[in-house]
Structure formats: C-alpha cells, structure tokens
C-alpha cells in the first residue's frame, strides 16, 4: 500500500523508516538530496540507489508534489499562489519580492480556529491542519519559479496549533540535506499559544514572531480570543524565555486598526510591554476586506505610532500592504474555501466566538 508520503518524514524519521526495511541510514541523506536539492520526484531517477531498492521504495511509498492552480501577480510584484489539495480544499502562499531577497509566506492550516476578529482567514473557522508534506510542498513549488531567501509562517492558519507538522516542516527547511535554509531565515508567527511556543523552542531553533495587536488584556481579549486563555503577562514572560537563534530578536507584529488600537496611549503601553525583550516591531496597517467591520488606520496615526516607537529606540518597520490588489496582504488569505460560510462576526463590544476545544 502506497500510503507513505516520503515528504512527511524528517530526515531522522526517514532513517528510522529505512532501518525498518533493513537499509543503511545514510540512504536517507541520498533520498533527501534527490528530492529537496535536485527536485526529483520519482525513485526511478535516484540512480545511486540499487534498482531493487528503488522498486521496493516505489512499491511502499510515494513522493507528493503541489502545483499552483492559480498564480496572481500584484502591481507591486507580489505573487499569490493558490494550491488545490488532494481533498479539494485550497490554500494560498504569497511570494513577496524584495531586491533579490524574496520572502515566501506559507500556510500551515486550511482556515484557522483562533477566531481573531480582524482576520479573514479566521472568519472561516478551521477546516483542517496541513500535513508536513503540504507545507513543504508550497516551498518546493514556488522555488521552481523564484529563489526564496526567507520563509515566514504567516499565511493561512495558526502554525502552533499544528505543532508537530510545523516542526517537521521546519526541520526539513533547515536540514543541510534538505531545503538548506538557515534557521535565521525561517520565522514562525503565532497568536500566542504558549505551551506550544515553549515546546517548539525546545525542539527546533527558529525565529519567532508574536502577533501582539493589543496592549491591554481587555482589548486583546476582544481582538484575539486566545488572550483569554493566555493573557498578556504570561505571553510576555514566555517571550522573555524563548530560545532564539543566536543574537536574534523576537518580532512583535501589531496590526494597526483605526480607532481601536492606534492611539498614542496604545503606543506608550506597547513600549512598556516589550521593554527589555530583545525585539523588533512590524506595524501592519489593517488590511480591509469585504464585510469587515474594522477600518485601516489613517496615515497620521501610522506615522505617530511609528515615530513614537522609533523615538524609544525600537527597531520598527511599517509593513506596506504588499499585494493588497490581489488580496495577498496580511489577513486577506482565504484560499477560496469552498462550501464554507464565514462565521458571523460580532462587533468589538460583544464577545467573539471562541473555539472551546482549542482553549481547553
Ligand atoms: N496565525 C498566525 C500567523 C498568520 S496571521 C498569527 O496570527 O500570527 C499573520 C499576521 O497577519 C498576524 O500578525 C496577524 O495579526 C495579521 N493579520 C491578520 N489579519 C489582518 C488584517 N486584516 N490586516 C492586517 N494584518 C492582519
Ligand atoms: Fe488565525 Fe492568525 Fe488569523 Fe488569528 S490572525 S485568526 S491566529 S491566522
């Protein structure tokens, strides 16, 4: 039965699998190099393996691939790839060009269960986790079209809610026999799932981005239901102890929403919150989408927030809304989730829906 997809294995797992077949463990390195460095997708072409071994592998396993069904190109050069998965669901990845240092934003779930009130992906709820292969295959497919320098887990989904497969995928991304990214060039972004954050820190060395988005518990409880389970103090403590690659900083993401969290007082509280955590800040002006009740901030409040942080010697970047014309900007990914209705969204002064399974 060909139910084993080699792309779901880290190199250690492949070694274990091959050992079970009575094969030498160094064969795992050879297979990884064929797949991830030479883009070979059939065992037939792996000419440094014996014919019998290749036939045995082909009988027991397969090598999955993804090809984009649609590629949209933004006026600013951002490219959005829509991938159709075997079960018919769809995910999106976004390639953001930057003077030869392209960043690929990958998805980790179909939809998301976290219910953040400002996020289009979240408004569809969670359909399912992506497999490790489905995550890695986004990179393999886009790499055919452009060189990728950085990988960010900032597409659809909450990566830490799919911890095992995200860790597997990160291991393949940074594996010297795999996709060969430096761990300094891979960033996992989270809404703040604290136990999973600590677990990830123990198991793999990778950059961390935390979507802060609010500076008081009252405000964050409303915008990001996960805060009711893991409030700001616990989140900031977890950030302080997170083991990063050497000399790296945590990235705090802050979506600026008009008249919600974009005041000077918010900026002042923000600086106090991240005080003493080696960090840099990404300000993301809220990207509007059809049916959303929030508004993007005015340029004056973006500038005011940005300069206040700068004045406090914080490294801050205001992320321009790359790809907004093709709905590829932050929070605009939906993967054309078919047959799914958006959960009805309540306004800020009522409770947002919470997935209680997730918050248990
Ligand atoms: N689930 C993870 C990663 C995916 S979301 C997380 O929340 O961190 C990636 C980023 O997009 C997050 O920082 C999130 O706050 C931001 N975002 C979501 N919706 C947005 C919107 N409509 N406009 C701007 N940024 C948004
Ligand atoms: Fe999920 Fe992140 Fe969107 Fe929140 S912001 S709903 S965690 S994808």
**13 classed as catalytic:** no
Burial class from Cβ neighbours inside 10 Å (0-12, 13-18, 19+) for residue 136 reads buried
From 123, 240, 242, 224, select the one nearest 188 (Cα to Cα): 242
- CA-to-CA distance for 292 and 306, rounded, in angstroms? 25
Of the residues 15, 24, 92, 276, which is catalytic? 92
CB 15 near ligand 1, within 6 Å: no
Helix, strand or coil for residue 8?
helix
Helix, strand or coil for residue 194?
helix
**45 classed as catalytic:** no
pLDDT attached to residue 359: 28
pLDDT attached to residue 319: 86
pLDDT attached to residue 333: 80
pLDDT attached to residue 334: 77
The residue whose CA is least distant from atom 8 of ligand 2 is 157
- CA-to-CA distance for 219 and 48, rounded, in angstroms? 59
Handedness of CA 18, 24, 28, 34 (dihedral sign): negative
- CA-to-CA distance for 295 and 260, rounded, in angstroms? 9
- CA-to-CA distance for 89 and 50, rounded, in angstroms? 38
Residue 122 backbone dihedrals phi, psi, to 5 degrees: -65, -25
CB 253 near ligand 1, within 6 Å: yes
Q: Ligand 2 centre from 58 Cα, in Å? A: 39
Q: Please report, for residues 23, 89, 157, 187, the alpha-carbon distance to residue 204 in angstroms, rounded to integers and kept in the order given.
A: 27, 29, 20, 12
List CB contacts of 338: < 8 A, sequence separation 6 or more: 88, 89, 90
Q: Ligand 2 centre from 114 Cα, in Å? A: 6
CB 197 near ligand 1, within 6 Å: no
Per-residue pLDDT of the chain (360 residues; tens, 9 = 90+): 468 999 999 999 999 999 999 999 999 999 999 999 999 999 999 999 999 999 999 999 999 999 999 999 999 999 999 999 999 999 999 999 988 799 999 999 999 999 999 999 999 999 999 999 999 999 999 999 999 999 999 999 999 999 999 999 999 999 999 999 999 999 999 999 999 999 999 999 999 999 999 999 999 999 999 999 999 999 999 999 999 888 899 999 999 999 999 999 999 999 999 998 999 999 999 999 989 999 999 999 999 999 999 999 999 999 877 787 777 777 778 776 544 445 443 332 223 333 323 222
The residue whose CA is least distant from atom 3 of ligand 1 is 154
pLDDT attached to residue 22: 96
Helix, strand or coil for residue 236?
helix
Q: Ligand 2 centre from 293 Cα, in Å? A: 16
List CB contacts of 73: < 8 A, sequence separation 6 or more: 79, 326
Catalogue all structural domains in the chain, each as residue range(s) with its CATH number.
4-51 (1.10.150.530), 65-209 (3.20.20.70), 212-318 (3.20.20.70)
Quote the Cα angle for 78-79-85, to 5°.
150
């Amino acid at each position: 039965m060909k139910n084993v997809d080699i792309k779901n294995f880290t190199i250690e797992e492949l070694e274990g699998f091959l050992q079970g077949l009575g094969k030498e463990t160094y064969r795992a390195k050879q297979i990884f190099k064929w797949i991830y460095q030479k883009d070979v997708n059939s065992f037939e072409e792996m000419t440094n393996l014996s014919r019998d071994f290749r036939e045995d592998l082909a009988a027991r396993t397969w090598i999955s691939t993804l090809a984009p069904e649609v590629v949209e190109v933004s006026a600013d050069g951002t490219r959005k790839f829509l991938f159709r998965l075997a079960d018919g669901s769809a995910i999106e990845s976004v390639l953001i060009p930057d003077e030869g240092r392209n960043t690929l934003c990958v998805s980790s779930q179909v939809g998301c269960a976290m219910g953040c009130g400002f996020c289009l992906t979240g408004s569809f709820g969670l359909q399912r986790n992506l497999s490790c292969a489905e995550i890695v295959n986004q990179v393999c497919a886009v790499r055919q079209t452009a060189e990728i320098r950085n990988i960010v887990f900032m597409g659809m989904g909450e990566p830490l809610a799919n911890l095992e497969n995200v860790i597997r995928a990160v291991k393949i991304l940074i594996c010297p026999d795999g996709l060969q990214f430096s761990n300094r060039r891979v960033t996992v972004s989270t809404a703040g799932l604290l136990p999973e954050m600590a677990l990830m820190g123990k198991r793999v060395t990778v950059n961390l981005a935390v979507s802060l988005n609010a500076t008081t518990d009252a405000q964050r409880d409303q915008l990001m239901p996960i805060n009711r389970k893991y409030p700001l103090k616990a989140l900031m403590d977890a950030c302080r102890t997170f083991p990063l690659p050497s000399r790296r900083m945590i990235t705090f993401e802050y979506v600026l929403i008009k008249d919600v969290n974009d005041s000077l007082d918010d900026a002042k509280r923000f600086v106090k919150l991240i005080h003493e955590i080696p960090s840099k800040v990404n300000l993301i002006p809220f990207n509007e989408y059809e049916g959303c009740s929030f508004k993007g901030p005015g340029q004056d409040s973006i500038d005011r927030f940005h300069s206040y942080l700068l004045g406090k010697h914080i490294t801050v970047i205001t992320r321009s809304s790359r790809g907004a014309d093709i709905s590829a900007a932050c929070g605009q990914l939906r993967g054309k989730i078919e047959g799914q209705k958006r959960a009805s969204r309540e306004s800020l002064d009522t409770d947002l829906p919470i997935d209680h399974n997730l918050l248990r």
